[in-house]
Amino acid sequence: MIANLNPRSTFDSYVVGRENGLAASAARAVAETPGAAYNPLCIVGDAGLGKTHLLMAIAQAIEKADSRYSVEYFTPEGLSEAYHAAVSAGQGDAFRNRLVDTDVLLVDDLHALPLQEDIQAELVRATTELQGAGKQIVVASQVTPASLEGVDETLIERLADGLVVAVGAPEYETRVSILQRRSDERGARFTEGVLEAVASYEITDVRELIGVLNRLVALQAVSETPLTPDAARALYEGEVSGAGASAGEPGADTIDQFADFLSGVTDTVKRQVDAWESRLNEATKRWAERGYCTDRLATVTTTSSGKTVDETLEEFERDVEELRTLRDSVSGIDASLADDPAFFDPDRLVEARGIAEKVVSKPPALTGPSSAWRFEGFIGSWANAVAVEATKAVSAYPGQERNPLVLVGSTGVGKTHLLHATGNAIAETLRTGVVCVNVRELAEALADAEAGGTVDDLREELNAANALLIDDLHLAVGNESLQKILGAAFSRAYESQRQIVCTIDEDPRESSVLDESLRTTLMNGFVGTLAAPDRELRHGLVVSMLQDNIGAVDSALADYLADRPADSVREVTGSVVRVLDEAESRGIAPSAALARELIEGSVSEAPRRTPGVRTSGVLVAPSSSVRSVEKMIWVWPDPSERLIEELS
Amino acid sequence: MSLVNFTTREITCKIVYYGPGRSGKTCNLRYIYGKVPEERRGKMVSLATEAERTLFFDFLPLELGTISGFATRFQLYTVPGQVYYNATRKLVLQGADGVVFVADSQARQLDENIESLQNLQANLIDQEVDIRTLPLVLQYNKQDLPADLILSPHELDEALNFRELKSFAANALKGNGVFETLKGVSELVLRKLSEETPV
């Protein structure tokens, strides 16, 4: 919510009569379709007739309907303050951008616009750009655009081009409705005829009308009997006649002085309490939208902290800033921990500090899934349909279905990609404790732990994981101690319904080399096979790579490459890279003819490069946390070829 | 003193009527006491000498009821104006949220008014309160006296109102300007709520 809006100024609380019906209707239309209905909209009327109320109602209705809309509301003083603050801070551009980047610009009391040319020039520039971009402009003024004095002609012309609607002084029926509505809001009840008696006076300023009502409320609060219409008339007439009495004249006792005093105090306290609530609500909404727990702000007025509202808000923002820093330090080491709820709750700052300290001082041996691999980048086909379906089921209900899940396939068919994608999806559900690691890394961690005497810590880390995802399990064969630790960890995870997913190059049911405890646990699960890429997968892969690398797809080239049989995804990506490299070195567009010539013909190949291309078809960012060297090489070179290169 | 207590949902304002002896401070409180409905006021405590001079201080608690969810009460105090009661004045002034300086409009009392105003400033400095930040209004009392005996509000403004404070002409005996003054200082005090209120 914009900070300087009165939350009570909404369309629901705006009393509509004949004299302001058109303005209210236009304002509603603007709020429902900003930029489309009447643009600009100029609301004209004397002071105290509800122009500001309509502007604030528009702003709040738009924000409520779609919080993505950016709305700026300015009074002339606010505009001037914002401008001077920006200029004195050397950020004139920021002020300009603030005006231009908004979706809805509302300027109140335009007739009081500062005469400073710079500010007017900014406003003219902003209205020009906003109108050109179909963004909504609404202004309120006590005079029509044509009668505005000292305001830039361009601005006047622009406003006159839009809809100019007037709000008139409230008539008797409207005055009764306003008094009735405000009495209801304040929970005040009057005997019949009291409000009508007040409304019968030609009070044209709504603020004055509310002022009289405030006095009625205060008077009734201190009276033993309900107010009568005559007493209400006496109150108003007494005020009017007493207004000119000088202090020196005795006996100005025609009105209840205490009630008047009480009414003034009530108004002031109410304004202050509204201001606190408005600031707290605005801050609560802002931080909640960014995912932070705002319980502290919600309870600020019911607990005694000894701090002012501003101090409380500043402290909250400081704590959030520290949480961000702590989270950043943790996410660089263990991304899965960065989603811990403690990093989003300023009231759990101490806990967040503890987590960060623990992680930073003793980083976990085991990592989480790499964010480079997600389901979105995985190309599915009949060759891997069963495995993909199983991983998605596991992601939705970790530990409950298909546990353990074993992904079986030969090298380069996308098992690792699918494993990490599953790990990322599970992390979105479980948030913390998702271990996704290659057996090579695990073996290294075990060797380090054995050397450092911290095997128990490693074991504890495995046992504490909420989900265990192990890549290339077959590489554990021959490492007895690793198989035993994994067997125990799998067994405990299975018993406590924590998800296990692993990749392996052969069906564990047919394996004769896996440790018995590992094999037993895996045999209770579900096996999803990834076969060699079929034509559909190959075609999808080629199209994706061409699109990513050159932003266009030659269908003949895609068909040619997809038609070539391949045992692995690596083979397909290798072919695409070779064609792209050759095309680049020759300075021509890659084509089917070039591919045919390169793959089947006599053209000598350009020296191979080893780009960061992942074998499953996605480009791996250099910052990816994958450690396996084997996995970073897009195709294994023929040793004899390498030997010849080195000899030459 | 805390103006607002969010835990108990209370707003309590302490307002002190300050000024030279016989300027009409107690008179202000008596008039207010007489106009406030019985259920809204506490007992007015007044310690006076036989000659009706305030010996210690006057105290009038006002219960304004619940406003926007806050039980709101005002505590009005006067200080003894006589020079030799400065220790008492300091004591009463402690924790004041707002001050009404009641000046005697009689021309011959001008020096006493100035001396009392200086005394107010000195006592506030002793309590490490900046008079420029304290909600303060001036009341020019006894404006009902014959014109040749008194200074006009404009003349008093020239002599006393060095910060363009709000000032009110008054006749506290009859009540003119009494509630206007109270309302004036109350607004200043309550406006400071959002700046200084602990929650």
Predicted confidence (pLDDT) per residue in A483-540, tens digit: 888 888 888 888 888 899 999 988 888 777 778 778 888 888 888 999 889 899 999 9
- pLDDT of A286 higher than 80: yes
Indicate the pLDDT class of residue B17, thresholds 50, 70 and 90.
Answer: very high
Q: What angle do CA A462, A466, A471 make, to 5 degrees?
A: 60
Highest mean pLDDT out of A251-265, A457-471, A634-648, B33-47: A457-471
Inform me whether the C-beta atom of residue A97 falls under 8 Å from chain B C-beta atoms.
no
Name the residue among A250, A257, A270 with its Cβ closest to that of B67.
Answer: A270
| Cβ separation A248–B11 shorter than 8 A | no
Q: Is B174 on the interface with A (CB under 8 A)?
A: yes
* Least confident segment among A80-89, A278-287, A639-648, B126-135: A639-648
- pLDDT reported for residue A305: 61
Interface test with A, best of B179, B182, B189, B195 (most A CBs within 10 A): B179
Contact B21, B82 (CB under 8 A): yes
CB contact A225 to B (< 8 Å): no
A215 versus A579: the higher-pLDDT residue is A579
Smallest CA–CA distance from B145 into chain A, residue: A248
Tell me the chain A residues in contact with residue B195 when contact means C-beta distances shorter than 8 Å.
308
Residues 6+ apart with CB under 8 A from A268: B186, B187, B190, B191
Burial class of residue A575 in the structure, from the number of CB atoms within 10 Å of its CB (0-12 exposed, 13-18 middle, 19+ buried): buried
Which ranges in B36-152 belong to alpha helices (H)?
86-93, 110-126
Enumerate the domain spans of chain B. Answer: 3-196
Q: Do B171 and A300 touch (CB under 8 A)?
A: no
Q: Is A250 within 8 Å of chain B by CB? A: yes
Q: Find the range with the poorest average confidence among A252-261, A330-339, A602-611, B172-181.
A: A602-611
A268 → closest Cβ in B35, B175, B191? B191
Chain B: give the shortest CA distance to residue A286, in Å: 21
Give the one of A253, A269, A302 whose C-beta lies nearest to B6's C-beta. Answer: A302
> Can you give the pLDDT at residue A302?
62
| Total residue count of chain B as it appears in this document | 199
Partner A, chain B 39-68, Cβ-Cβ below 8 Å? 40, 64-65, 67-68
How big is the A-B interface in CB pairs under 8 Å?
Answer: 114
Predicted pLDDT at A512: 75
A134-181 pLDDT tens trace: 899 999 998 888 888 877 888 888 888 888 888 988 888 889 888 888
Å between B133 CA and nearest CA of chain A:
17
**A4 in contact with B, Cβ within 8 Å:** no
pLDDT of residue A249: 39
- For the domain with range B3-196, which CATH number is right: 3.40.50.300, 2.130.10.10, 3.40.50.620, 3.40.50.1360? 3.40.50.300
Q: Does A76 touch chain B (CB under 8 A)?
A: no
Question: Residue with structure tokens 């809006």?
Answer: A5
- pLDDT tier, B149 (very low <50, low <70, confident <90, very high otherwise): very high
The per-residue pLDDT for range B79-120, each reduced to its tens digit, is 887 777 788 888 889 989 999 999 999 999 999 999 999 999
How far is the C-alpha of A573 from the C-alpha of B19, rounded, in Å? 93
pLDDT at A7: 79
pLDDT digits (tens, 9 = 90+) for A50-74: 899 999 999 999 988 888 888 989 8
Is any Cβ of chain B less than 8 angstroms from the Cβ of A305?
yes
Contact by Cβ (8 Å): B147, B176? no
The tally of CA atoms less than 13 A away on the side-chain side of residue B163 is: 13
Q: Which residue has the tokens 């899934």?
A: A369
CA atoms of A575 and A561, how far apart (whole Å): 7
Q: Do B179 and A258 touch (CB under 8 A)?
A: yes
User: Which residues of chain A make contact with B11, given a CB cutoff of 8 A?
Assistant: 269
CA separation (Å) from A251 to A234, A254, A286, B28, B145? 16, 8, 54, 15, 15
Judged against a pLDDT cut of 50, whether residue A632 lies above it is answered with: no
pLDDT at B139: 97
Inter-residue long-range contacts of A576-579, CB under 8 Å, 24+ positions, other chains counted: A576/A541, A576/A542, A576/A545, A576/A546, A576/A549, A577/A545, A577/A609, A577/A611, A577/A613, A577/A634, A578/A605, A578/A608
Given a cut of 90, is residue B172 above it in pLDDT? yes
Average pLDDT over residues A254-268: 78
Chain B contact present for A246, CB below 8 A: yes
Q: Taking 60 as the threshold, does the pLDDT of residue A117 lie above it? A: yes
Residue A150 has a pLDDT of 77
Å between A60 CA and nearest CA of chain B: 23
Query: What is the percent of chain A where pLDDT is above 70?
Result: 86
Q: What is the pLDDT of residue A126?
A: 86
Asked if B144 and A273 come within 8 Å (Cβ–Cβ), the reply is no
Question: Is residue A597 scored above 90 in pLDDT?
Answer: no
CB contact under 8 A, B182 and A261: yes
pLDDT (0 to 100) of residue B48: 58
